[in-house]
């Protein structure tokens, strides 16, 4: 049976986790788009047989996809915006 982790091990683990998550946050800010996983950034797909070529439906033939962290950030910002701004359709009171 192994010993429980010491405080030093927990601190090192928390530091590594903070560094990795901070790096990913900077990546999502600086480069929000990554290559599409299905078409590998080309925007088109080859048919399994023959010479057929069609546009990638997943990325709309752009070859890019929004990173998961950026998608979560955009969603949280949209929720915040919708929850804090008054609805202009109802008019001011």
Q: Which residues bind Zn ion (CB under 5 A)?
A: 36, 38-39, 56, 58-59
- Residue 76 is classified by DSSP as H
At closest approach, how far in Å is the CB of 31 from Zn ion?
A: 17
Nearer to Zn ion, 54 or 75 (CB): 54
CA–CA separation, 40 and 50 (whole Å): 20
Nearer to Zn ion, 25 or 44 (CB): 44
CA–CA separation, 85 and 48 (whole Å): 50
Q: Cβ atoms within 10 A of the Cβ of 42, count?
A: 15
CA–CA separation, 47 and 39 (whole Å): 12
At closest approach, how far in Å is the CB of 36 from Zn ion?
A: 3
At closest approach, how far in Å is the CB of 41 from Zn ion?
A: 7
| Tokens encoding 62 | 């752009």
Nearer to Zn ion, 40 or 80 (CB): 40
């Amino acid at each position: 049976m192994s010993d429980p982790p010491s405080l030093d091990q927990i601190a090192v683990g928390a530091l590594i986790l903070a560094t990795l998550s901070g790096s990913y946050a900077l990546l999502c800010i600086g480069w929000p788009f990554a290559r599409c996983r299905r078409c590998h950034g080309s925007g088109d797909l080859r048919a399994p047989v023959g010479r057929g070529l069609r546009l990638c439906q997943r990325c709309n033939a752009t070859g890019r996809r929004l990173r998961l962290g950026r998608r979560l950030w955009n969603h949280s910002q949209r929720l915040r915006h919708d929850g804090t701004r008054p609805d202009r359709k109802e008019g001011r009171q």
